Structure 1
Amino acid sequence: VETLSWRQLIITLFKLRVVSLLLLSAFGGAALGIVSGGEFSGWSLLLLAISGTLSASGASAINQYLERERDTRMRRTAKRPLATGQIPKPEIVLWLAGGMVVGASALAGLVGNWSLAFWLFMGAFIYVVVYTIWLKPRTTLNIVIGGAAGSCAVISGGAAVGATWVLPVWLLAALVFTWTPVHFWALALAYREDYVNADYPMLPAKVSSQTAAFWTAVHTVLTAGLAISLGLLPQIDLLYLLIVGLSTVPLVKRTIALMYVQNRQTAFALFGYSNLYLAIILAVVMLAMIWR
């Protein structure tokens, strides 16, 4: 069995690449909160970074603990340290990760930001309980509803700066919600056999590739529409519209290519660009705060 280096083990176990995008989403929410009247505070942003990393990393590790047996049936996940047995006592991971999730919300609560504590906990709860335990093994709607975990990351950013309930934050949260199926169904199309082998009812494993591509396209349209809508808000600079508008074109082109031909190449092309697309939106949102 191939073993991972300690660095690779930590990156894989805590899904730090995914966590980095969730943190970017949280800071995007914070930026929109600040331009909507929230308080800019270096301490608040530091609290968001620390607590957000702890909560998202902990939830990711719990997810791998719960899925360690099915992970052995999938090429994409078979080398994860809990699947290979590289970590001899998986229960240690469960307790450590659970402590990280609880500790993240406790930290936010201790400094008096109970709204941040709530949304951090909700993000972890939706990902671990609603998505991993309940929906993922049971319904093709798993990732559609499970996408709310990413939305909670955005809202936690707004909560960190005292702007939980402002429209721009919730628009970005809705965008992350609709973006998640585009991102994940493209990946699931590329690894369709993995999900069949693991007996997960992921949409591309249960319907034809054409049908899966169609529903991916529906969510691409919703995501692009929300991305453009953000640019129409008075808090956002017109340069956002220009950059995001241009960035939307390759997303649509890759989605159309997937609708015509469903194979690993077209699926990976959309999956890869969907990551970049969200990162561009979040980066420009944060720049909008600086410009103001």
Structure 2
Amino acid sequence: MNDEFVPSPARPNPAACLNTFVALFKLRIVALLLFAGTAGAFLAARGFPGWQPLVLMTLTGGLAAMGASALNEYVERASDAQMRRTRKRPLINGAITRANWVPFVALAMIVAPALAVLPFNPALAFFSFAGALIYGGIYTLWLKPRTVLNIVIGGLAGTCAVLSGGAAAGHWSEPGVVVLGLLVFLWTPAHFWSLAMMYREDYARVNVPMLPVRTSMRRSALWVTLHAAATGFAAFAIGIVIAASWLYGLPIVLLTGALLWRCARLIAEPTSARARSLFLTSNAYLALVLLLICLEGVL
């Protein structure tokens, strides 16, 4: 009798599955967008908006943002395979072997929540869908491979996240919400141009016209600084609009000073290492501004 050993199928690794899920749907970015939406809801309500609007915004906006992120990875998988920053994404490294289902699931995640809330909150449906359309469609398919202004216009997706939070709370046109949407719009190029400065050769290799690819590192640093300064101005404007206390104003002064100091160092020494420092600082800056807005609303 010739017994042949047949190995049993390997059990899925829970940690690996979680990492794949986080990477495919870009949950770190989605979390920051939802935080922006939460701050928008606080500004719209002029305080704590209640749990129902926050849960509604999280489900609607979160699913739409996750769907747009997955669609972005599906469309860009060929160029991602050539870039040092993205070549370990799940559609490239073999973690997901059948990618044909991704665009269908992604579109369902974008469309279904918008349709679900459309009858009772059309503004939330519109901004959630618009944000996903701008990032997953207009930015990914059209702007990114064609124009140096790609991330400038693409920053409107982040603005839609803020307006979604305001819409969930019932007052998306509140001045504070609008100014926060402007802040995120201004912050986005500074943040992603510093990332592009870190991976300038990657973007050049796949012929993506990010600003640092089309101009010098020093000039890119100047443009980053201009947007960072405008972001800081918007943060101060929010404080004026909502008549914030010193508990908001003083930290904003310190945070904006730290951000502009990083910018000055990048101008003086426009290297990938300095760009990385600014990238991390800008990430923390936005998160802390959003936190201060929420705290100002409840204290």
For the aligned pair, the TM-score class normalised by the smaller chain equals over 0.9
1:284 aligns with 2:295: no
Q: Is the 8 A contact 1:21 1:279 kept in 2?
A: yes
Q: Deviations over 1:161-195 (max 9, x none)?
A: 11011111010000000000111011100110000
1:15 aligns with one of 19, 26, 29: 26
The correspondence of residues 77-226 of structure 1 with structure 2, limited to 5 A, is 77-110=86-119, 112-226=120-234
Equivalent pairs counted in the alignment come to 286
Larger Rg: 2
C-alpha contact 1:35 1:235 (8 A) present in aligned 2? no
- The one-letter code matched in structure 2 to 1:95 is F
2:74 equivalent to 1:62: no
Residue 50 of structure 2 corresponds to residue 41 of structure 1: yes
Q: Which of 270, 277, 287 in structure 2 is aligned with 1:269? A: 277
**Partner Cα distance (2:53, 2:221) in 1:** 41
Q: How far did residue 238 of structure 1 move?
A: 3.0
| Counterpart amino acid of residue 222 in structure 1 | A
Q: 2:251 aligns with which of 243, 264, 271?
A: 243
Structure 2 stretches lacking a partner, 5+ long: 1-12
Query: By how many angstroms is 1:235 displaced?
Result: 4.4
Look up the equivalent residue of 2:196 and give its one-letter code.
Answer: A
| 8 Å contact kept, 2:176–2:242 | no
Q: Give the Cα separation in 2 of the matches to 1:98 and 1:245.
A: 42
Alignment-derived partner of residue 262 in structure 2: 254
TM-score by length of 2: 0.93
Quick one: distance in 1 between partners of 2:297 and 2:234? 19
Under a length normalisation based on structure 1, what TM-score does the superposition of the two structures give? 0.95
Q: Which runs of 4+ in 1 moved over 4 A?
A: none
- What is the root-mean-square deviation of aligned Cα atoms in Å? 1.5
Amino acid across the alignment from 1:79: K
Asked if 1 retains the 8 angstrom alpha-carbon contact of 2:40 and 2:180, the reply is yes
Whichever residue aligns with residue 53 of structure 1, its letter is G
Residue 241 (structure 2) aligns with: 233
Do the aligned residues in 2 keep the contact of 1:231 with 1:238 (CA within 8 Å)?
Answer: no
**For structure 1, which runs of at least 5 residues remain unmatched after alignment?**
none
Q: In 1, distance between residues paired with 2:99 and 2:218?
A: 39
Q: Is the 8 A contact 1:33 1:162 kept in 2?
A: yes
Contact 2:20-2:95 within 8 A present in 1 as well: no
Preserved CA contact (<8 Å) 2:151 2:188:
yes
- Structure 2 letter corresponding to 1:32: L
State the identity %: 43
How many Å apart are 1:59 and its aligned residue?
Answer: 0.5
1:127-168 Cα distance to aligned partner (Å, 9 max, x none): 012111110000000001100000000000000011011111
Quick one: distance in 1 between partners of 2:57 and 2:34?
8
Whole-angstrom CA distance in 2 between matches of 1:131 and 1:287: 33
Residues in 2 aligned to 1:72 and 1:103: alpha-carbon distance in whole angstroms: 31
